[in-house]
Structure 1
Amino acid sequence: MQDGTLGLIDFGAVGIIERSRRQQMTALLLAALSENDVAATDALLLIVDAPDDVDLEAFRHDVGIVLTTEHLRSGGQGSIFTRMVDVIRQHRIALPGELASAFRSFATLEGCLRVIVDDFDMVGRALPLMPTLLRRTVSLSRMATDLQAQGVIALARLERIPRRLDALLTGIEKGSIGVTLRSDNGDDVSGILGRVTAEAASTLVSIAAVVIAVVLIIAGGGPVLGGSVTLFGVLGAVVGLFGFLGLLRIVRRTFGRRG
């Protein structure tokens, strides 16, 4: 600028990072400065959209390699931000657009500064600025304001509870409350759950019938119907037959579905 200071020229490629994301990125920068791979990984997982099957230990290991390499190397090409993005993509983790733009801006800035000063250490130079950044992000006045905002929101939610509870109880009294279970693809699985429950109950009843039959036959006793045949023995045979047929039916259904 005319007074010799540096100014920003806006060519349109400007993004906005919300406060919550700035706090997460501040935590990431602090962890990177202290070479804390565990904290850096945790901070990244708060920012990125990691799939359920991601190998967290391998991801932490690769993040640690980037941090250690950055702290041990003297000069050279490349940027810690570019290498961090490479690690995120290597593990097939989705990177939010604003974070990708921020990392790209950091890498571009670092590259421009190294054109002026070959061994410029952007991460090391950022360390003295961290206390000021933290004071802006985490201050007592801001924390107090946040607590007040959360309190107002919680109060508003509490005021809605009696009305929603009354609507729920009214629906239960009228019999208009129902529960629908759906799978991941949106299909209704209530019928499947009902069939599974019915088959489990049938299995338990059949097993119980067989056990009762064995006990009755072994115990014997009761009125003698003729010869050595007793009432308990006949009842045991009948109950055992029904239990055996029930188990046979369940086995046939199971193998029939597999076929």
Structure 2
Amino acid sequence: MELIEVPQLIRNADRFREVVTILARHGLADWISGVPSVWRERLRVGREDESLTTAERIRVAMTDLGTTFIKLGQVLSTREDLVGTELACELAQLRANTPSDPPEAVIAMIESELGAGVDELFSWFDPVAMASASIGQVHRATTHEGLHVVVKVQHPGIERRIVNDLQIMQKLAEIAEQQSDRLRQYRPVETIREFQRSLIRELDFHRELQNMNRFRKNFADEPNVHFATPYPKLSSRRVLTMERLDGVSVSDKEALESSGADLTAIALCGATVFLDMIFRDGFYHADPHPGNLMILPGVREQDQETTPPRVGILDCGMVGRIDSGLRDDLEAALIASVTSDAASITEIVVRLGEVPLDFDEPALVCEIQELLDDYADQSLRDFDVSGCLRDVIRIIREHRIYLPAKVAMLLKVLAMLEGTAHQLNPDFSLAELLQPYGQQAMRRRLSPRRVFERMKTRVNEWDHLLSILPKDLADVLHSLKQGNFDVHLQHRRLEPVVNRLVMGILTAALFVGSASLWSSGVSPQLFGVSVPGFLGCLLALFMGLRLTWQISRVR
């Protein structure tokens, strides 16, 4: 343990013990063996939920552990490629039922962040929260200009608690990666690092405000969709004031049925908005579950009839981005899917993800080809996008390919989008809606302009290489001439292999030497048997059995 970790460990000791205790109570801490003995005693606590499956116990444990772990569970529910379908579906049920803070604490937070009294900031402020989530709670208010708004206020002290929990998660992830072969395949350290970056960004309400403004700009000419207007002068890092949207939540089935709105048109409009975000803008809302979507009444314009109902989109804290490289790979995968080119799809998957050392590429090509054949006979109307994506993720997971978070998020958003649209219209077909986007992508990729741009990029890359190659080559030759050319090799997880190799050599040498002493009858002897030879052979036998057991554990 590094000395710099000691103050952190002391500061988080009580919380660490609490986390270990809860994990042990749900039978999820058997892999923890690298912690102090005082904490390891907590592992002997009896389990309370013997009748639950492992996925259910993980969900219950994360609920008991609180905000940060619930957030982690929600993020892992989007990584079906990493944790599997069963656990991802179970974690998707996680919801943080956080009690609201006392009014005086909320008012103190607002006044501290905005530098003025609540009466100076708002003409009316409701001290009773209308909703409370894991990071913050929401209050109704009215500005002095008569605007109806909602004020999102971060829970006092939540940032400090989250930072402490993230430190504990990081330490547990390191222990899991060192101690458990089963957990190592989930890449706990890398997953926690991604989650840490995402959650720290979510704690800054300035980012959500910027996301809302960008969405409003991208859809400024779209009358059928509406994002709440944020008010920067009444917002800060921990307080976000935005327009209040009054409508019917898509999660409220009874209200939807009684609203009289054309749900088929609403489903089409909402799905189109999200596909525009993905394929047109490369910047999309990454959490399209029903609770974040509303049906808003139409607006009456001057001398015109009331417009049709609109789709209101809430909670812009979680977003995804598609850069030019990922867009090119997606377009190439789409073209390969249309032409049933399994080898090209495999090449794209390998390029996007990280493959294990024993990766079997021909087997992956074969499985992808079988998948393409299975869905080839389905009509566009009946094509199950969610089912196809689940099959793709299953194949990727079986081959232990680790997808980047941005790719996994995009796949999850598409599957979630189809599920949300089906709540509005059971006959909705996302595949039909995707078809024109696919055609546009193919035309764009094969257009002369894109071909010229790719050629120009390759020429620039070769030009850059040719410009630096002579100097770099001259430096290498000069180092060789001077005799100070060094090659630095970096290995990963080679220490256990070397240790076992050395142990095997020592075991063999000990056995051969002891057998020689035994056969030569070296004194002292007992019942005619050389004691040093016998003890040496016995020790060598023990070392050999122990080495065999260690090798069998790691297969």
Bin the TM-score by the shorter chain: 0.5 to 0.7
Deviation string 1:47-96 (CA, Å, 9 cap, x unpaired) is: 22222312223323333343334344547795311221122112211111
Q: Taking structure 2 as the reference length, what is the TM-score of the superposition?
A: 0.29
1:98 corresponds to which of 399, 406, 420:
406
Do 1:33 and 1:123's aligned partners in 2 also have CA atoms closer than 8 Å?
A: no
After TM superposition, the structure 1 = structure 2 runs for residues 92-241 of structure 1, keeping only pairs within 5 Å, are: 92-173=400-481, 175-180=482-487, 182=489, 184-185=491-492
- 2:487 and 2:449 map into 1 onto residues whose CA distance is 46
Post-superposition shift, 1:181?
6.5
Which of 331, 349, 359 is the matching residue for 1:44?
A: 349
Q: Deviations over 1:121-173 (max 9, x none)?
A: 43354233323123334533343334334434433433333433443444444
Change (3 A) 1:89 1:158: same
- Structure 2 unaligned residues grouped into runs of 5+: 1-223, 225-297, 299-306, 495-555
Q: Distance in 1 between matches of 2:492 and 2:473?
A: 30
More deviation, 98-107/123-132: 123-132
Q: Is the 8 A contact 1:31 1:37 kept in 2?
A: yes
Matched, 1:80 2:388: yes
Corresponding pairs, count: 186
- Please tell me whether the aligned partners of residues 81 and 107 of structure 1 are also in contact (alpha carbons under 8 angstroms): yes
- 1:21, CA displacement in angstroms? 1.2
Identity %: 21
1:149–1:38 distance in 2 versus 1, CA, 3 Å: closer
5+ residue gaps, structure 1: 188-259
Q: 2:322 aligns with which of 7, 17, 29?
A: 17
Counterpart CA distance in 2 for 1:148 and 1:139 is 14
Q: 1:165 to 1:50 in 2, by over 3 A?
A: closer
Task: Kindly report the root-mean-square deviation, in angstroms, between the aligned alpha carbons of the 2 structures.
Answer: 3.3
Provide the secondary structure at the position in 1 that maps to 2:426.
coil
Q: How far apart, in 2, do the equivalents of 1:153 and 1:32 lie? A: 29
Do 2:354 and 2:403's aligned partners in 1 also have CA atoms closer than 8 Å?
yes
Bigger strand fraction: 2
Moved more, 161-170 or 83-92: 161-170
Aligned to 1:28: 333
**In the TM superposition, what is the alpha-carbon distance from 1:16 to its structure 2 partner?**
0.7
Instruction: Give the 3 Å change call, closer, same or farther, for CA 8–63 of structure 1 in structure 2.
Output: farther
Q: Is the 8 A contact 2:346 2:364 kept in 1?
A: yes
Stretch of structure 1 that moved more, 15-24 or 67-76: 67-76
Q: In structure 2, how many angstroms separate the alpha carbons of the residues matched to 1:100 and 1:26?
A: 16
The question of whether the paired residues in 2 share the 8 Å contact of 1:33 and 1:124 is answered with: no
Asked whether the 8 Å contact 2:384–2:431 carries over to 1, the reply is: no
The Cα shift of 1:42 comes to 3.1
Question: Which residue type is aligned with residue 93 of structure 1?
Answer: I
TM-score of the superposition, structure 1-length normalised?
A: 0.57
The structure with more helix, counted as a fraction of residues: 1
Give the drift of 1:103.
0.2
The secondary structure found in structure 2 opposite 1:151 is: helix
